Structures are given as C-alpha cells and as structure tokens.
Structure 1
Amino acid sequence: MSPPRFTPEQVAKSWRDALDVWDVRVQLSPPEPHVPFRPDADHANEPLAYIDLVKRQVFVHFELLHDMRAAGSLTAVLAHEIGHHARFPHTLGWDAELRVQEQKLIPGLKQSLTNLFYDLQVNEVVGRTHARELADVYRGFQRVHGIGDMSPMFFFYLAIYEELWGLMPGQLAPEILESEMEARFPGLRAEARMFAQTFYALPSPRLQFLYFCATFIRYLGKPEELTYSLPLGSDVSLPDVDDLDAAINGAARWDDALEEAKERGWMDNGTGNSSSGDALDTIHRVTHHLPGKGGGELRRALVGRHYKRLVDQHVLKLPSAPSKPEPYLRTTPEAWEYGDDPSAIDWTLTVISQGHLAAVAPLRRELEADLPPPSELGVPSVEIYLDTSGSMPNPESQLNAMTLAAQVLSASAIRKKATVKGIIYSDGEPEVSPWMYDEDTARDFLFGYLGGGTRYPFEKLESLSRERPDALRVIISDSDFLANVAEGDSMRLLVESVRRSRALVAFLALPDDKRAREVLAPVLAERRFRLVVVTWLSDFGPAAANLSRALLEN
C-alpha cells in the first residue's frame, strides 16, 4: 500500500492555518478524506471539498487534489470551505433570498449561480494570503477536465481572478481561447477588469448580487440550458422550505437595491421588480431545478404555505392544541410468527409479559385507525366535494379559487374541532380522503388535481351519506354540476343524500342563479338543501368564509 500523500500532521496544520485566515473558531470537525459517492465513477467529477452540515464534518478529496498537482493548496481549499460556513453565505436564509431574486432577474435559469457568487466573495478574502495556491487549484481543474469545452462564463470568471490577483492574461483563463472569446464577446477583458474593480467596492451584498447577475448574464448563453461545474463549486448546502418560504414572502427588502441598480444602469425598469409576478410562478421558478426534492415535495410544501396565508386572511386562527391527537391505536396483542412484519413487534409489551422468553416469543400489535371523536359543541362533520376538472387551473401552478374555497371551509371546520372528509373529482373515479382532523393533512389532500371533464360522483355522495348521516356536505363546482344533475338518476340520488345530511350546500360559480334554480327545482324544495351562487371567482375565498360562519357558528 502506498504511503498517504497527506500526513495527519500536515492536515492538522493546514486546518489551523485555514481557521486563522478567517480568525474564527467553528463547530466543525477537522477534515476527513472524501469517500466517493460512486466508487465506479470518474473521481475527477467528485467534489474537491465540502461540508456535511448534518455531521458538522469537512471532507476533502485528497486524491483529486494530488492529481490536480495542487497538493500545496490544502490550506487554501480548507479556508475556502470555512469561508462559506463563516461568512458567504453564512445562513441558508440568505442563499434562499438570492435564489428567489436570480429567478426574477434571469427567468428560466436552469442552474443557480449563487455558489459561483459566493466563491467570488470567499476567494477575494482567501486570495489576500493564498492567491497562488488558489490559482493552482483552478489550473489543476483545467488539467484534469481539459479546456476544449470551456464555457464563456467560466472563461470570464477566470479572467476576473487574473485581474483580482494581478496575474498576466493567460495564467488562469487559457491563452489559446483568448482570441476566440474576445471575438465572441468584445471587451471581455475590459469588463473583467471593471468587474474586479467594482464588485468588491459595492457597499451592500444585495447590490453586489444585482451587479453580478447583470454582468454574468451576457456569458450564460441560454439560461434554461446552463450547466456548469467549478473546482470549488457545489459546496454550499441547499436552503430548506422555511428559508425559501421566508425569501419568497420577503422580497420587498430588495426594493431599494433594485432601484439603485436601475439608477446605475445595470438593468432596465422592467427587470427584477420584487413585487411583480405571481407567488406560485416564483415558487415554480425557484424549485424546478433543485435536485433530490422527491418529485415536487418542496414545491408542494411552499404552495401549501402560500394557500395557508390566503386562508388565514379569511379564517380566524384559533389557538392550536398542545399536541396533535394520535391517529392510530394498537390492536390486541398476538403471537408474532416468522414472516410477519418485524416492525409490528411491540417489544415493550413482549418483555413485560414474556420475561425471559421475549426473544423467542415476541408479541405483535397492528395499528388501526382511531376514528376521531364527534365534533365539539355540536359542530358537524364536513364533507367537501371539490370539482378539479380542467375548467379550473392546477392549484400548484395558478391560484385556483375553488381549491382556495375548499381550504377555507376545511380550515374553518377543523379550527372548530370538526372533522373533514375531502372528495376531489373529475370525470373518473373520485379520490376520497379518510376523516381528517389535522389542518395540514386536509390542506395537502385538497391540493389534488385530476383535470379532464366533469362527472359528479352521485353514487359516492349517496354511499357516504349512508355511512355518516347528519354530516354537513358542500359541493364546490360550476355550471358543469347543473349538467351532471340533469342526467339519469342523479337528481334522485341527490335528494336522498340531502335528506340524510344535516345540510347539503351547492356552492357554484355561475353568472347568476336563474338556470340553477330551474335545474335544481326538485331539490330546492328540500329544507336541508342550500344553493349559494358566486358570480366572480375572485369572491370564492370571502364567500367560503361567510358560508363557513353561517354553517358552523352555534
């Protein structure tokens, strides 16, 4: 076995020297060797260094650093990583703000530029004492990856460091590409010099980022196709849902910086207005390119918070219970047998009851749903039938007034300790939730969207009315419901369901109620049926709030 290229003593000394660059003490473990994510892959494509914030551990790809012929740059590399942790970005909330703004400044951007922005800030500080070592890392990166397909953005980026560190042109940005890049982007060298002189002298990080985006956009090509890699890139953790949510709803903090950027001539008056654009569109832009987000879970969570704010505008927020009720109960214990699910074993009960035989005779107990208790103070259980046909937009992409109305009704009921069942339907089999008594669960279910035509599930309405008589039922739809109820046996099923309900409300988007009263005449004679017509979709939220007060107030 070959001797290690970096001794523990060398690594420890480099770590101490790197901390001294920033004059900080951080709660991070000293560097450990990077373990390849994929042992069979080209190690040149693995990160050179990064920080695992979960483990509070710094990792360095020592082998790659050696192959780049930059072994003497270990202190500079470690100082670079500490710089990200200590100052740039320092918090993921700040990173989230930048990600929101860059999508407004450069719509459709496929890969965020924030890591590159932070590297410019970090390397200016580290380069004051370790410019040569950092330059060796960037030259080594080109040695390992080649320069044949170097992007104009990376060439310009390297040219900035040549100006910043007083290097001759060609010492970082490949000299062989100089004439080609200058022909494609006249004045590139002069712009790199101006950037190095201007960027670091700007008085605020917000102005720095606006100037950075306004300058780099020239070299991006098609933003929606941009992908890039840096020798010290991809080493900043991604913001979470709390960070992004706060950033999306705190864009006004950028107004002064945007106005100053426009006065300086970096962007026109139609660019980057923090108050412009739909919040759902901003959420889509910010999240569509983020990796590893579980098929849109991050986006769905952000959309959920947006709708919750809209709901809270209409529904009084009551004090929450100390804890959520337990949705499941354990069944009677039975003997566990080989082949059963090991997770069903109740070890606490087994040890108490079986004693020394616990290991050989474990007991299992399944979980069964704990049906919620009846509502407090006579507030009825509520069934919400939500039309999610193609006549209304997907609520995750555009504001869906009917979805908002369903969520207002749901939140109103749950905050009064009522239980809610959601039924979303289109032209196929409807999706039916269990009885819900948690607002977040109900909100998530009511984001469901089926699209297509409309066929109201009268058979499901009738069967559910038998399962839970005396529930309050609300149908949220438009003129399609009138067409559906006039077909076949639908009216009979509707009338029977009304008679088994505490009340059944048809909550419909219609220009007026004339046709509705003609079509629904047989059921309008029932004392438990109510027709509520909403003329404008924008009124659905307030109307739902008024309806919930009328139905649920004692």
Structure 2
Amino acid sequence: MSELEALRAKWLARWEDALACWSRYTRLSAPRICVTREELEREKMSTAFALIRLVDHAVAIDLAQIVDKGLESHALAVLAHEIGHHVYCPGDLSDHARVIARVRRALPTREHLAPFVSNLWSDLLINDRLHRSAGVDMAAVYRALGLAERTNAVWWIYLRTYELLWGLTRGSLAERVDSSTPEGMQLEGDAQLAARVVRAYSKDFVRGAGRFASLLLGHLLTDDAAGARQRWAILNDTESIGAGGEVDGLSEVDEGEDDVLHPAEDPEVTGRDTPRDETPSASPRSRGVMRTGTKTPRGPREYGDLLRAIGAYTDEDDVAIRYYTEQARPHLVPFPRRESPRATEPQPEGLEVWEPGSPIERVDWVESVVRSPVVIPGVTTMERTYGESPGADPAREPLDLYVGIDCSGSMGNPRLVHSHAIVAGAVLALSALRAGARVKVVLSGEPGRTISTPGFERDARTVMKLLTSYLGTGTAFGIHRLRDTFADDWPTRRRAVHVLVVTDSDVFGHLGAEREGRSGWSIARDAIERARGGGTYVLRLDPSSHAADVARMRQDGWDVHHVRALEELVAFARAFARSRYHRARR
C-alpha cells in the first residue's frame, strides 16, 4: 500500500467523527478522496484541495494537495468543514442562490466577486460553529497553511475576524497591523464589525450575507481583491457547488433581497434601537420590498448571471427557456378542449408478441406466464391488443395552438430584457402542451425575417427555444405568413387549431398589402376557416383607434383583444384559456 493509500484510509476512518461534529444523526455518503489523476479528473478538481457539490451531496478531497499543504493531521477539521456546507451554510442550492443574489446586490460594479465573497461568509460561519460548539481546532488549519502575510485588506480582515471570534492573540493568524494609523484603524474596525455580523446572523445567514458584502465593498472597490482571491484559490471548495443543478424561484427578486445595510448602520449588529427603515442606507426601494413583500421580475440577463455565479449555468438557450418557463408557471391553466361527438372505449380483442423496445407496461404478464414459465423477451412475452367501441360520453380533444408573435424592432430582445409578450406566449404554449395539444410558434418581423418551429410540436424545449428567440426586423407580424401553415392543401381531417396573433397597429398595413395577388385580409380569413378552431388578434392598441379595421377583423371571424401596455398581456393569456374554453371542458 502506498503512502497516499494509507493516508486515504486514515482520513476515511475520521469521516464518522466529522459527521458527529454536527450531529450524531447526520448522514452523508463517504467522501471521494482522490489519489490518482483519473480520480481527480472524474471529480473535476482543479486548484482547491477540497470541494463540495450540492446536487449529488458530494465531498471530494485532493490528497496530494493535502500532503503538499501540510494538512495530513487535520482530517477532522477539513472533513467537518466540508460537511458544514451541506448541513449548515448554504445547505442547499436554493439558499446558496439566495445568498449569491444578496451579495450581488451589495456589490455594485463588483458583482463578479459574489461567489468569492459568499464563500468567505459561509466559511466564517462554518468554522466559527465548529470551533465553538464542536471543539475543532480550525485555527490550526490556517496556521498550517501559512497564509498570515497581509497581501490584501479583504484577506487580512477575514483572518483577523477569526482572531476576534475565538479570542486569539493578535497576529496569531493575521499579520500584525499598526492600529494607530488611519488605515490600521479602518481595518481593525471592519474586522470587529465582521465578527459581530457572524454572531448576529449565524441563524439567518441569507440576510447576513448582504451585510457582510456591504462591509467589504469599499475594499473591493479599491483593489478588486486580486491578492485575496489568489490566496483563496486553494480554499475555494464551492467552485463546483451548483454544477448540474436547477433552482426554481430565481426569476423574481426575493423579498428583502435589496436589504443590504452596512453593518455599522444595522441595529442588530450595533445594538442601537434605530428602526431599520429609518437608517440612511435603507433606500426607499429596499424599504418597499421589505414592507410590501412585492416581487418583481429579475430580468433574464441578471438571471443568467446569477445561474453562472452559483455554477448552474449551461447555455444561453437553456437560460432563456428556464427563465420564461418559471415566469409562466404560476399562470398555467389547462388548455381548452373541444368536445367530439362521441368518445370510444378500448375493447380487448386478442394477443400478440410483445417486442423489446415497446413500453414495458404493455406486457400481459399473466398470459406470458401461461404461455411459458420461462420469460424470454420478444419470444414468450405477450401483449393484449385492443379495438375501439363507441362510448356514451362525448370525447374531449384539445385544440392545437398557433402562436404568432410580433418580433419587430419595436419589441425588445427577450434574452436581455423581460418580455411580457414572451411570458404570455409561454403561458399559452405550455398550457396547451400540458393538455396534450400541439403548438406551433411563429416569430415574425416583416418586412424582414420570420422563423417558426418545424410544425406543430409536442416538445416543450423546442417550442420554448423558438419562442425566446429574437429577430428585431421589420414593423409587425407578417400576416401573409399564415399562408405558410394554412395553405390550400391544409388537411381537413387534422385536429382543429386556434390561431392567436400578438402584434400592434402596424399589422393593418400588412393586412391591406397584396402578395401574389392576395391581400392579407383574405389570407387571415381563410386561415381561421381552415384551422376550424377560431382566431384571436391581441393588439397593443387604443380601443378607440382603427375602429373600422377592428370591425372588419371581427366580421371575418376573428376575436380582437386590446392591450394598452405589454404588461397586460400576461393577464390576457391567463384569462384567455379560462374565460373562453373552461365551459367547453364541462
């Protein structure tokens, strides 16, 4: 057995003791203590000697680095610290995201440092809990690492905070600084505030994260913490904390997220009896969020930055899909269904061989065993076949949905700014898919470009990827594009389709224009006749304008709904399915 293998066995033997530092009931899978290059690559370890992942509740250790840093005898401290990330701070990916969001709010122009600052914060909390409550000598780890030299104000404050929390002699962890100088007084004062924040918010680490970040902001603005981050690289155990994870609720600003007081003005830190709303740093925006509890959309760009900061970012398409799906989810309702004259009921008719690749639930196990006690897939496995007999109740089939959205230059890019039109489209499309319908999405900015899904789709990702795309061309939805779908050869026996077009007043110019000898009016009229499921125009338009054109729309068989502002579109999308089609479901 090699020396590293022997050391691995010793570290694994301390795992139960490390778990007991938190509770005798704590259970986590054994740590992945890596010795070989293959093991390191599998765990995706880079600069840090330890890492954790919240998605699969993993703890991984680079044993070669442990030896290189002289930490062989500190198995209990290192393992207990990593367990602390799982059971205390942040505990799960949702709370980690909330911490990162608060830290970002407290670091204007330095938002990219949020993962670094949040890691400092969580380590302070975890190490203080272990040192005071479990009797683990966490200070010995920092002494062994030999990182006392002051290279940066943030790093010095971090180490000095431990000295204050644990009553250690000045200079035992952080290099001595002359506290009689203005700079030294500032550093000492900030370290004392940091220690108070740790104690005041040990049971509310999400809110405390904003205070801690506000305390460090002034230092981060002057030197960007390059030296501290360089030192922190070997301790950055949360680098892959959110890899492969998904978090709901991030598309909206959390209640109190803007409450990022500087600790010097926080009565819970200073002990002053000043109401938080009356402190100079509590902005009206912050006070409004805390008082009303109102949530506002975060915005897709910030949402993507937040996913990147927690390590859950995948690609631009996935971010947009997740953002608008989350925004639409509270409004989803079952999509309308149209009653067919009569339903059919399955009628058992006979047996046939069940082939591998068919759904396993189709296997008739009784008949299979009757045929042969030895079950051989594709040979002795049987499935029952069914015919249909008329039923007494009418059948209900969902209307398919055609969603046409104006994606001209007047509409913002939904991947950069929050788009109410796309949220409304997502509400309609996802409701339709939930009910079993097929959806076709068409984005059009004519004259210019039009893109669409290949056909009427059942796959939500295909629909949402197209829906969250952007053109930025032309002036309105190209109404002539309806002919691309509802052409002369449109099959009359296919399921009925409801046609919904979201656009503005510029569409009237397209309706009056002729292409290939046909006006937009005639193409739109023929489209809903062939679709057989009705049609709706949603116009961003004052109801009193274009009265003659709107009357013609209705005469041609279209419903017309006006919205004065794009914010009204989501309410329309929700009401559309409820008011028009719920009656048809009964």
Structure 2 counterpart of 1:508, from 522, 534, 539: 539
1:486 aligns with 2:512: yes
Q: What displacement does 1:106 show?
A: 2.9
Post-superposition Cα deviations, 1:425-467, rounded to whole Å, max 9, x if no partner, equal 2231322253245777655643333223346444541131133
1:123 aligns with 2:152: no
1:453 aligns with 2:452: no
Post-superposition Cα deviations, 1:446-494, rounded to whole Å, max 9, x if no partner, equal 3333223346444541131133555331211012222323333242433
**Could you tell me which residue of structure 1 aligns to residue 340 of structure 2?**
none
What fraction of aligned residue pairs are identical, expressed as a percent?
A: 19
Q: Secondary structure at the match of 1:505?
A: strand
Question: 2:576 & 2:30 partners in 1: Cα distance?
Answer: 61
1:135 aligns with 2:142: yes
1:389 aligns with 2:389: no
Q: What displacement does 1:532 show?
A: 3.5
Post-superposition Cα deviations, 1:13-45, rounded to whole Å, max 9, x if no partner, equal 5435434433435433444432558989xx995
Question: 1:253 & 1:298 partners in 2: Cα distance?
Answer: 21
Pick which of 15-24 and 477-486 moved more. Answer: 15-24
Post-superposition Cα deviations, 1:136-170, rounded to whole Å, max 9, x if no partner, equal 2441x57xxxx69x432222111212333444444
Q: 1:29 to 1:277 in 2, by over 3 A?
A: closer
1:294 aligns with 2:293: no
Q: What displacement does 1:540 show?
A: 2.6
Query: TM-score normalised to the size of structure 1?
Result: 0.73
Q: Secondary structure at the match of 1:430?
A: strand
Question: 1:446 & 1:220 partners in 2: Cα distance?
Answer: 40
Q: Secondary structure at the match of 1:65?
A: helix
- 1:481 is aligned with what amino acid? V
- 1:517 is aligned with what amino acid? A
- 1:123 is aligned with what amino acid? N
**Could you tell me which residue of structure 2 aligns to residue 93 of structure 1?**
94
Unaligned runs of 5+ in 2: 269-273, 338-355, 364-375, 381-393
Question: 1:164 & 1:252 partners in 2: Cα distance?
Answer: 28
Question: 1:346 & 1:415 partners in 2: Cα distance?
Answer: 24
**Could you tell me which residue of structure 1 aligns to residue 348 of structure 2?**
none
Q: Secondary structure at the match of 1:71?
A: coil
Post-superposition Cα deviations, 1:316-352, rounded to whole Å, max 9, x if no partner, equal 7999xxxxxxxxxxxxxxxxxxxxxxxx989999x85
Report 1:351-500 matches (<5 A).
377=396, 380-410=399-429, 413=432, 418-426=437-445, 427-437=448-458, 442=463, 445-454=466-475, 456-466=477-487, 467-469=490-492, 471-489=497-515, 490-491=519-520, 492-500=522-530
1:538 aligns with 2:552: no
**Could you tell me which residue of structure 1 aligns to residue 282 of structure 2?**
268
Pick which of 381-390 and 255-264 moved more. Answer: 255-264
Query: TM-score normalised to the size of structure 2?
Result: 0.69
- 1:195 is aligned with what amino acid? A
Question: 2:296 & 2:217 partners in 1: Cα distance?
Answer: 23
Q: 1:85 to 1:117 in 2, by over 3 A?
A: same
Post-superposition Cα deviations, 1:218-251, rounded to whole Å, max 9, x if no partner, equal 3222799989335433337329876441795752
**Could you tell me which residue of structure 1 aligns to residue 162 of structure 2?**
161
Q: Secondary structure at the match of 2:249?
A: helix
Q: Secondary structure at the match of 2:235?
A: coil
**Could you tell me which residue of structure 2 aligns to residue 333 of structure 1?**
none
**Could you tell me which residue of structure 2 aligns to residue 215 of structure 1?**
215
**Could you tell me which residue of structure 2 aligns to residue 233 of structure 1?**
236
Alpha carbons 2:535, 2:558 under 8 Å: kept = yes
Pick which of 151-160 and 259-268 moved more. Answer: 259-268
Q: Secondary structure at the match of 2:567?
A: helix
Question: 1:224 & 1:400 partners in 2: Cα distance?
Answer: 34
Q: Secondary structure at the match of 2:298?
A: helix
Question: 2:509 & 2:578 partners in 1: Cα distance?
Answer: 29
Paired residues, number? 498
Q: What displacement does 1:64 show?
A: 1.3
Question: 1:103 & 1:280 partners in 2: Cα distance?
Answer: 12
Q: 1:451 to 1:224 in 2, by over 3 A?
A: farther
Pick which of 222-231 and 382-391 moved more. Answer: 222-231
Q: Secondary structure at the match of 1:268?
A: coil
- 2:10 is aligned with what amino acid? Q
Q: What displacement does 1:134 show?
A: 1.9
Q: What displacement does 1:385 show?
A: 0.9
**Could you tell me which residue of structure 2 aligns to residue 65 of structure 1?**
66
Q: 1:161 to 1:442 in 2, by over 3 A?
A: same
Post-superposition Cα deviations, 1:239-294, rounded to whole Å, max 9, x if no partner, equal 98764417957526998999866746594334745457732336355335344521
Q: What displacement does 1:395 show?
A: 3.3
Post-superposition Cα deviations, 1:384-433, rounded to whole Å, max 9, x if no partner, equal 21112231223344442332333444456556654332212223132225
Q: Secondary structure at the match of 1:90?
A: coil
Question: 2:379 & 2:218 partners in 1: Cα distance?
Answer: 73
Report 1:70-81 matches (<5 A).
70-81=71-82
Q: What displacement does 1:120 show?
A: 0.3
Q: What displacement does 1:383 show?
A: 1.3
Alpha carbons 2:250, 2:303 under 8 Å: kept = no
Q: 1:25 to 1:8 in 2, by over 3 A?
A: farther
Question: 2:359 & 2:579 partners in 1: Cα distance?
Answer: 50
Q: Secondary structure at the match of 2:562?
A: strand
Question: 2:358 & 2:473 partners in 1: Cα distance?
Answer: 46
Report 1:146-157 matches (<5 A).
150-157=151-158
Post-superposition Cα deviations, 1:472-529, rounded to whole Å, max 9, x if no partner, equal 31211012222323333242433443443433333211124543635x78x6485424
Q: 1:133 to 1:354 in 2, by over 3 A?
A: same
